[in-house]
Amino acid sequence: MSQAGFILRLGVGLLGVLLSSATLGGSVPAGIGVRDLHYGEALFQLFQQRNFTAITHLQMAQAKGVMTAQGDEPELVLGGLYLAYGLYDEAEQVFNRLLEKAAKPAVRDRAWFQLARLHQQQGRPKRAALAFGRIGDALPETLHEQQRELAGLIAMAQGDHPLAIQRLVSPDGKSAWQGFHLFNRALAQLGQGSEQEGRDLLDQLAGLDADDEEHRALRDRANLLHGQLLLEAGENAAAQERLQRVRQQGLHSNQALLALGWASFRQDQFEEALTPWMALRDPDDPAVQQGLLLAPQALQFYQAELTGLGLSLQAVAKGVLLPDLSTFDGGGAADGLLLASDPDQRRHLRGLLAKHRFRQAYDDYVDVGFLSANLHRWSSTIETYDHMLEVRQAAYAGQLPRVETALSDQRLQGLRQRREKLLEMEKELADNSQPLRLANAEEQAQLARMQAIETKMDQMGDAVQLESKRQRLRLMMGMLNWQVETDFKPRLWQFKKLLRSTGDELERSGQLRERLKEALEQAPGRFEGFSGRIESLKVRIAELQSTVNVTLKAQAGALNLMASESLQQRRQGLEALQVRTRFALAQLQDRAAARSEAGP
Amino acid sequence: MKTRLPKILRLLALLLLSMSIVGQSQADEPADLQSQVRSLKKAVVALNRDLFLLEEELLFPGHTQVSVFLSLDLGEFFTLDSVQLKIDDKALANHLYTERELAALRRGGVQRLFLGNLKSGEHELVAFFTGLGPAGRDYRRATSLKFTKGVSPKLLELRIVDLEARQQPEFDVREWE
């Protein structure tokens, strides 16, 4: 393979890694602050990669008009979610809408950034470059490194390696994106023929700390690329050193082991070459198949692999290689759906999934399966709602006479009138001091008794012996009057307070009555509204279920075709290898026989 | 034998070196199928939104609707394991947190812990939080709020906030208008 092709192959592979690194969650700048619970709820789903649910939450909040505190932020996030969910047209519309409505510079810059990403992902580097060029200086700082990375990728996609090299430089060299920048800069240097500069950058990357799996895999990739470059240049010992740094349990271990074997082989270290080749795992990997050509058990391996491939091809023909998503409940990850019980079939499907085009089609298949499960759940739930509505309508009809009686009750009006009278009394009391009107029941009873005694005494005449009793009665009446007059002000205050609270209670009762009346009037319309919506949604569910079933079958058909072609090609390749290995062994045997016939 | 092995290997290598093994599949997912999937996704997303709106209006009408959310600010002094929510002494929600959910909360996500109905009037919410506190010690705290349910939907937020000054977590409930 030519160096340009070799680099291109690695570059394309890396591009996929980078785009997946720039996850949607990462494009939501930290520190913006959640000022709206509904928006926060959508972020909770988004940060767990539940894009479909996050989209639903944002759309619901938008429809209800309850998300007003976050400005254009929810719209931007929704656009990003559409992009991640493969709804490219909708994403583009959202970003364009934000740009058309002359949003704030920070929002505009993020919209241009997302548009540039969208075009770059869709393989439209010119449009990506145009959108990228519109990004101003208001992009949040947390997105600067992603911006730098995107700038480099767009330049590389346009074949402008010097520009990519210039763009892919972090100012402080401490960013989490530093490794990606270095790798892509190395690719750009190699792409423009500056091999030594490219290798130096790969060495620099290999020396970086790698705290997570993504960065460890990137470091493996740098060491592998460097080793392969040195191998091509004939610097076998140096290649060996780089290749030995690739982790054996990593994604690139097979390629590294294969190259390591060649590095030893080229230095005539034949037995050392066999060690990495014999350690090759995963017979589905082309690197392993190539490596095993040189191993003693190659023929047995090819035969076993051909048998397995034949079984997988039979499974494809029967349509059982792919998981059956017609009964999918929507849970679990795509890899958890590999239902084939045969380990070879599972392995072959995984091998197919490693290919970008198959993976893309398979992801679509799983997405449609998820939609199918979602519709299935709704189709049973909506029947429950229909029934619930009927029950409510019946309950409403049952309660209607009682409610109507309650509404026609005039007691509330009578109570209001009584309060009006008390308010007048309060005014009179405040204007003309009449303390006895605020005497309590006991005091009034005492007063009435004393007045009755006084009347009786008056009837008994002016007997001298009654005088002391009259004085005592006057004293008691005076004390009672004094007590009532002294307490008048606090009693008046208490009276006003009671009247106020009675007013509040009457007000609440009035509001309740109005709400009841309103509910009574609106109920038939609400029932009709719900009933109409349920019926229309039922129709939509049924229509979409039918479309989903057709699409699921078509998608399975397309995947089976792709799987079949790929497995057939693999079988042909293995058959050719088998023939060549047999031929090579026959030649060796002939030579050995000729040598033994010729004698020592 | 030892001297012949390298020769055999060398010959095999010469014979087989230039071979390419596995071809790439040329078949692609048909473009019209891709566009059909996209159009389907769009239609189901819209349908899902309408169904959820119907569900909410039907099951949780505004005048009785109560939502309780949970948010986490930083979360350095407290690692949340579980939360139990009670309203008027009735347990309404229990949740055990996964690492993924905690990460989403720490990044600013807000979890809707409960959506239900309550009649108008006075109520009391009590939330119990369990997890690991400062220095990795077991930690259990509760917070409560007396609130009035009126005619509009009630939104309540359980907040776990790091108090830098005391190096302790603080738990409270906020009522949203």
Q: Each residue of B141-156: pLDDT tens digit?
A: 999 999 999 888 999 9
Look up the ipTM and state it.
0.86
**Any idea which residue has 């271990």 for tokens?**
A253
Amino acid at A232: E
**pTM of this prediction?**
0.73
Q: What is the mean pLDDT of chain B?
A: 84
Q: Which spans in B91-169 are helix H?
A: 99-106
Decide if pLDDT at B25 tops 50.
no
Task: Tell me whether residues B176 and A37 touch, CB distance under 8 A.
Answer: yes
The HSE-up count of residue A175 (CA atoms within 13 Å, CB side) is 21
Contacts of A534 in chain B (CB under 8 A): 54
Q: Which residues pair with B95 in a beta bridge?
A: B83
Chain A residue at shortest CA distance from B14: A584
pLDDT of B16 reads 44
Task: Tell me whether residues A355 and B25 touch, CB distance under 8 A.
Answer: yes
DSSP string, A41-83: HHHHHHTTT-HHHHHHHHHHHHHHT---TTTTHHHHHHHHHHH
Identity of the residue in B21, B48, B49 whose CB atom sits nearest the CB atom of A374: B48
From the number of C-beta atoms within 10 Å of its C-beta (0-12, 13-18, 19+), residue B58 rates as: middle
pLDDT of A227 reads 92
Mean pLDDT, chain A cut into blocks of 10 residues (600 residues total):
43 41 51 77 92 93 86 92 92 94 86 94 92 92 88 92 89 77 90 90 87 85 91 90 88 82 82 76 60 63 77 77 66 46 67 74 88 92 90 86 78 84 82 77 89 87 80 90 86 86 85 81 86 94 95 89 83 79 73 70
Task: Tell me whether residues A554 and B36 touch, CB distance under 8 A.
Answer: yes
Identity of the residue in B25, B41, B176 whose CB atom sits nearest the CB atom of A565: B25
Q: Which residues pair with A483 in a beta bridge?
A: none
Task: Tell me whether residues B47 and A537 touch, CB distance under 8 A.
Answer: yes
The minimum CA-CA distance between B29 and chain A, rounded to whole Å, is 6
Contacts of A556 in chain B (CB under 8 A): none
pLDDT of A328 reads 63
* Residue B32 banded pLDDT, cuts 50, 70, 90: confident
Give the number of A-B residue pairs with CB atoms closer than 8 Å. Answer: 217
pLDDT of A464 reads 75
**Any idea which residue has 């509330």 for tokens?**
A412
Task: Tell me whether residues B37 and A547 touch, CB distance under 8 A.
Answer: no
The minimum CA-CA distance between B125 and chain A, rounded to whole Å, is 18
B144: DSSP letter: E
pLDDT of A15 reads 41
The minimum CA-CA distance between A95 and chain B, rounded to whole Å, is 17
CA distance linking residue A355 with residue A339, whole number of Å: 19
Identity of the residue in A515, A537, A580 whose CB atom sits nearest the CB atom of B19: A580
Backbone torsion region of residue A396, taken as left when φ is above 0, otherwise alpha when ψ lies between -120 and 50, otherwise beta: alpha
Decide if pLDDT at B116 tops 50.
yes
Q: How is residue A525 written in tokens?
A: 């319309």
Mutate to test the interface with A, among B1, B41, B57 (most CBs of A within 10 A): B41
Contacts of A44 in chain B (CB under 8 A): 101, 104-105, 109-112
Chain B residue at shortest CA distance from A62: B49
**Cα dihedral A391, A395, A396, A397 sign:** positive
Task: Tell me whether residues B110 and A34 touch, CB distance under 8 A.
Answer: yes
How far lies A284's CA from each of A88, A279, A314, in Å? Answer: 34, 14, 18
pLDDT of A237 reads 92
DSSP string, A102-169: T--HHHHHHHHHHHHHHHHHTT-HHHHHHHHHT--S-S-GGGHHHHHHHHHHHHHHTT-HHHHHHHS-
User: What structural domains does chain B harbor?
Assistant: 60-176 (2.60.40)
* CB neighbour burial string for A483-505, b if at least 16 within 10 angstroms, e if fewer: ebeebbeebbeebeeeeeeeeee
User: What structural domains does chain A harbor?
Assistant: 3-331 (1.25.40.10)
**Any idea which residue has 């047995």 for tokens?**
A300
Task: Tell me whether residues B107 and A30 touch, CB distance under 8 A.
Answer: yes
Task: Tell me whether residues B29 and A558 touch, CB distance under 8 A.
Answer: yes
pLDDT of A25 reads 52
CB B123 within 8 A of CB B147: yes
Collapse the DSSP code of A487 into the 3-class scheme (helix H, G, I; strand E, B; otherwise coil) and give the result. Answer: coil
The minimum CA-CA distance between A537 and chain B, rounded to whole Å, is 7
Chain B residue at shortest CA distance from A570: B22
Task: Tell me whether residues A562 and B25 touch, CB distance under 8 A.
Answer: yes
Task: Tell me whether residues B108 and A34 touch, CB distance under 8 A.
Answer: yes
